[in-house]
A and B are shown apart, each in its own frame.
Chain A
Amino acid sequence: MISAVVWLLICGPVVNTSSDFDTEIMPVLTRSGCNVGSCHGAAAGRGGFHLSLLGGDVDADYSAIVQQFEGRRINLAHPEKSLLLRKPTLEVDHEGGHAIQPEGAERLLSWIAAGAPRVRARTLKNFECDASHHLVEQIGEQVALRAVAHFDHGTSEDVSAWTVFVATDPATVTLDASTRTATILRRGQHTIIARYLDRVIPIRIALPLSDVPVDHSREPIANFIDEHILRTLTDLRLTVSPVADDATYLRRVTLDLIGRLPTREETVAFLAGDGDASTRRRERVDRLLESDTFAKYWTYHVLNLLRVVPTPNDRHAAQAYHTWMLQQIRNRVPMNQIARELLTAVGDTHQVGPANFSRSSPDARAQAELVSRAFMGVRMQCANCHNHPLDRWTQDDYHGLAAVFARLERGEVVKLTRQGAVTNVRTGERAIPRIPGLRYLPVDEDGRETLADWLASPENPYFARSFVNRLWRGAFGRGLVEPPDDMRATNPATHPELLDHLAFDFIEHGYDLRHTLRRIVNSVTYARSGATDNVNRDDDRFYSHALQRPLEPAVLADALYDATGVSDTYGDEPKGTRAVELVDILTPSEALDTLGRCSRNESCENVLVSGSLPTKLHQLNGDLVNRKVVSPDGYLHRLLATNAETADIVADIYLRALSRPPTDTERDYWLEQIFAAELDHRVQILEDIQWGVLNCSEFLLNH
């Protein structure tokens, strides 16, 4: 039997011009999957052969192939006997099985035959696919994938055969590797990632979710958000839900902008308001944005978003930090300016609030990870040990960013010293400070200023996008990029143009928090009802209707207080303290222990009402709700003491907790329940109604 390699030698069109290792051989290895994490790309390699993860380190890979293992991986005298070929063609035993296609083997063979040189003939300048967005009509339809590489010296080449195409969800799209066609199996918007050398491009393919075209041309449009959203909905033939009623909108926007329920009085006044509904809503939004409650809530919220945590048991530091942030939000300091201050502040953390940012990271690497997550929306920690497998970040970027913070002394007083360095684990040498993905910084200057300038500049591609994505997520329950701290080319936004537009608009308007929030909550998209029809019911990312979100723990604790008039105890804080206004997030509190706390160590963005079993048990049987419904100080028992009409008491429970009066049906039903009971049971029934309201999803969700 003739081996595959010999057969190639005989029949294959072996050309004796050498391939370029960097741009022609490396793609063969990547395309064949040799350097993935589960094979030779693993940190320890596989079977003694180690390649850099997805070809991140060409020098090391060349050495591994040509020089290591006493050069036995290639055989210059008898190229066809090279292990590099015999293994993946299964001529000798290979745990990874038959891993290489004929054209790949052919290329390797001709390269070895030419002496396995590294000629560095060309470098990649640009990589693109012939379309980044396809719209197909039916299930089973095929899309041809084509990729082109542009090199220096102006040459271009169709590299489709050497590009790795991967469907992000293989259940929705199948890829035929040999013909490079994608077959669409399900309706929806799908993404294929194209990877060539170190470049990655997402390709979107949309197959409408219904056969019936939708006409959204007459939908109201408040601003550019609605235009982007409606365009995608039209492509996908998704119906839209109508705008929510006033009560729902008021509750939603009040929770989102100031972190609490509307008061009974606000609800009643808003619902009684006359005139144009949209004008009334806009005025309400403006009032909320101007309020001091807004500043207090967003102090809490921004501290969460930026994951800033005060040093435990240092009340003065926590106070200084909180006071400073509150001032910034009150004074409408641009968000990029706030970031700049946090990045560069030094001094006594009891006096200089923003200096706590540097103090809160235990070391330079932790600070680099925090900075990249908080201000860039990227996760760089993979690049500690190896180049990021899904993104552009290298170990030099990671350790270089850490080196920027290496000279900080992180005590009660944060100081810039002359000493301090981090080791780049790739080189084993002192890491050179670096703006990730961009350039090295002089070793002897304080790189934090330069880094802060770069992050805060309007040209920065990360800061504004990651910040507006987080604002979007707060208002819709889902980021345009999800999760919000994992923005990268391989994790594309559902609406890339909208994200760009929001970021541009945010920068144009001076990085103003209130401006972007106003844009969002004034959009028709934000105001849509959560009710759905058969077509848009399952939509969870195209915003054809409102998504329902659990109230986060601190907001829920405050909502329980507002709905009942009975407060919780927070450490030694005065009675009536609100959870979102706590200066120290570690303040003892049974309510927060039960509902879940944001420790700010982990990504607090994912802390929702924990809903875990002990929490629910506590909601059923514990103090949290039970104590409030029986308290003589609560609204319910105070009203009972005034001999109020039963119907008014039911209405009060509804207005305070659900921000709406009961419907006639609801009111009649509850009254019937109450009056059917013995006289001395009626108070109990009212308590139970309030208890039920506080445990029903309409209360527990921002809907």
Chain B
Amino acid sequence: MFQRCDGIGRRDVLRVGGLGALGISLFSGRQPRPALAGAPRAKACILLWLDGGPSHLETLDVKPDAPSEVRGPFRPIPTRVTGTFVSEVLPNTAKITDKIAIIRSMTSPFGEHGLANEYLLSGHQPTPVLHYPSYGSVVAKMRDNASDLPAYVAIPDVDAPAGHGFLGSEFGPFAIGGDPSKIDFRVRDLDFYPGVNSHRMQRRRDMVAQLERFQRAADFGSLTVDRGPDSRFEQAYRMVTSPQTKRAFDLSAEPQDVRAKYGLGFFGQSCLMARRLIESGVAFVTVNFTGWDTHDSLVLRLKDGYSGAKVGVGLAPTFDHGFASLVEDLADRGMLDHTLVIAMGEFGRTPKLNTRDGRDHWPRVFSLVMAGGGVHPGIVVGASDAIGESPADRPVTPSDLAYTIYYLLGIDPAFELHTSDGRPVPVNQGGQLVKELLA
């Protein structure tokens, strides 16, 4: 067998043919290959998805020396790492820069939300013929889930680009479906139907088990019926009866000062719930934080939150509270080493302010921040040019990012997934490891 350009043997390329006839055995024998040197650092991942595309210039990539229309409304502040500055709207993040890594040279060709979402959330450049699975779904597919909870949870829910793609709905996110900061928040169908308690639920489950046993014991002569037990029934049952599940979703178990530290709104409480879920064995949590598409009024949207605010409650302070508290809390609990935290959106914003004091879409360079899970703390990778227009150093593509995320999670980026019609698709295509990010 000759090696192909990308290391794929010819038979792999042509294997697509004839899957219908005898293909199923193809999948059964293939196990994830632990082809990576060294043990993975990250057992779990929390993605803080800043939907809409946060401005790099108002957050992680300040340009104090640039002209005012580039510099924008906010001042830079020093951070824990000498020589690294962030925007004044991120004071708590500034205090934990010794625990995080900032990438300032992300670059992508897509300046439209839909395509950019698909690229950033999967690491694959979008194509009309295939929907690629998001990180969370790939993790759900590749990990054995021993927990009573689903492997991939979305708070409160996510759009299709963060979904299962071609992998099939069982690997999609379990959406908690509501705002966990609300006093009456409940995960749908997690609570028993009126009149049912855990005792009765257990009886029902025992009855289902008995019915399955009757089936298997039915008189088929020397033959047997191979039916059940239904693994999804069991997973759902475990989930609704497990004290672990109820506890994981129950924020009232947290001390009030911890809840307050994260921020009492949607995002802060979602970060807190993400931590609780990871603690309970969930492998991947996406917190979907929308509203970052700031085409106008940067000060109002990013800092103040409402006009006349004395203390800013806009997007940036909200993020700052939740993110910094999450990282510190994970560190305090000894979880940061094996929990990868990523905060990013689908692109950055235009270097020059527009006429509405906002910024428009800008994918050519933008920033993101990562922490924990084997990420080198206290560093800045790459740089943008003087006006935040293009990468000046060490450009990183979303595909490179994906490679690195999978590497950190111990998933072989070359591992081949298969579409429902048998087309082989590697976990990552064309990405390269961002070595600087590794601790």
A interface, CB within 8 angstroms of B: 32-33, 36-39, 46, 95-99, 164, 166-172, 175, 177, 186, 188-191, 193, 195, 200, 202, 241-242, 379, 381-382, 389-390, 479, 481-483, 486, 490-494, 529-533, 537, 540-541, 548, 606, 610-614, 616-623, 626, 630, 663, 665-666, 669, 684-685, 688-689, 691-693, 695-698, 700-701, 703
Contact = CB atoms under 8 A, between A and B. Distances in A.
Contacts of B203: 685, 688
The 4 A-B pairs with the shortest beta carbon distances in the complex, nearest first, are A168-B18, A490-B17, A692-B207, A616-B236
B20 interface: yes
Contact of B204 (A32, A169, A688): A688
B10 A202 contact: no
A670 to B, nearest CB: 9
Given A177-B1, A696-B211, A171 B26 contact: yes
B4 A172 contact: no
B434 interface: no
A603 to B, nearest CB: 9
B3 A97 contact: yes
Contacts of A630: 195
Contacts of A663: 214, 218
18 contacts: A36-B13, A38-B4, A38-B5, A166-B11, A189-B22, A202-B21, A242-B221, A242-B223, A491-B17, A540-B24, A617-B239, A617-B240, A618-B188, A622-B193, A669-B214, A695-B204, A696-B211, A697-B215
Nearest to B194: A626
Contacts of B215: 696-698
A239 B335 CA distance: 55
Most buried by B among A491, A494, A532: A491
A524 B1 CA distance: 45
B356 interface: no
Contacts of B233: 616, 619-620, 695
A39 B5 contact: yes
A494 B21 CA distance: 6
B172 A612 contact: yes
Given A189-B21, A620-B236, A669-B210, 16 more contacts: A96-B2, A166-B11, A166-B14, A168-B18, A193-B14, A242-B223, A382-B129, A481-B21, A492-B21, A530-B225, A533-B224, A612-B232, A617-B240, A620-B233, A621-B191, A698-B215
A39 B211 contact: no
A27 B276 CA distance: 60
A97 B2 contact: yes
A188 B200 CA distance: 47
Contacts, number: 219
Nearest to A627: B193
Contacts of A701: 227
Nearest to B2: A99
Q: Which of under 10, 10 to 19, 20 to 34, or 35 or more describes the interface residues of B?
A: 35 or more
Contact of A171 (B29, B212, B225): B29
Most buried by A among B18, B224, B228: B18
B20 A696 contact: no
A617 B8 CA distance: 41
B227 A698 contact: yes
Contact of A621 (B20, B169, B193, B211): B193
B436 interface: no
Interface string B147-182: 000100000000000000000011010110000000
A697 B22 contact: no
A95 B195 CA distance: 67
A168 B15 contact: yes
B225 A531 contact: yes
Contact of A168 (B1, B21, B221, B239): B21
B120 to A, nearest CB: 22
B19 A32 contact: no
Most buried by B among A202, A381, A614: A614
B184 interface: no
A487 to B, nearest CB: 9
Contacts of A193: 14, 17-18
Nearest to B10: A33
A192 to B, nearest CB: 9
A618 B21 contact: no
B24 A619 contact: no
Nearest to A172: B25
Contacts of B218: 663
Nearest to A245: B220
B14 A36 contact: yes
Given A537-B226, A620-B236, A669-B210, A491 B20 contact: yes
B74 interface: no
B207 A688 contact: yes
Most buried by A among B1, B15, B170, B236: B236
A481 B170 CA distance: 25
B23 interface: yes
A701 B215 CA distance: 13
B189 interface: yes
A46 B5 contact: yes
Contacts of B214: 663, 665-666, 669
Contact of A33 (B13, B15, B19): B13
A390 B21 contact: no
Contacts of A242: 221, 223
Contacts of A170: 11, 15
B188 A617 contact: yes
A37 B424 CA distance: 12
Contact of B235 (A38, A166, A616): A616
B109 to A, nearest CB: 14
B420 interface: yes
B232 A611 contact: yes
Contact of B23 (A168, A479, A533, A666): A168
Most buried by A among B8, B14, B203, B218: B14
B2 A98 contact: yes
Contacts of B2: 32-33, 96-99
A491 B18 contact: yes
Contacts of B8: 38
Nearest to A691: B204
A541 B18 CA distance: 14
Contact of A166 (B17, B200, B223, B225): B17
Contact of B5 (A95, A172, A531): A95
A692 B240 contact: no
B196 A626 contact: yes
Contacts of A164: 10, 14
Contact of A190 (B22, B192, B208, B235): B22
B115 interface: no
A626 B193 contact: yes
Contacts of B129: 381-382
B332 interface: no
B383 to A, nearest CB: 30
A659 B11 CA distance: 48
A533 B222 contact: yes
Contacts of A167: 11
Contacts of A190: 22
A387 B112 CA distance: 30
B189 A36 contact: no
A701 B212 CA distance: 12
B280 to A, nearest CB: 15
A206 to B, nearest CB: 11
Given A610-B169, A620-B201, A202 B193 contact: no
A483 B207 contact: no
A695 B204 CA distance: 9
Contacts of B343: none
A7 B163 CA distance: 56
A605 to B, nearest CB: 11
Contact of B232 (A191, A381, A389, A616): A616
Most buried by A among B24, B150, B223: B223
A5 B388 CA distance: 53
B144 interface: no
A169 B174 contact: no
B20 A241 contact: no
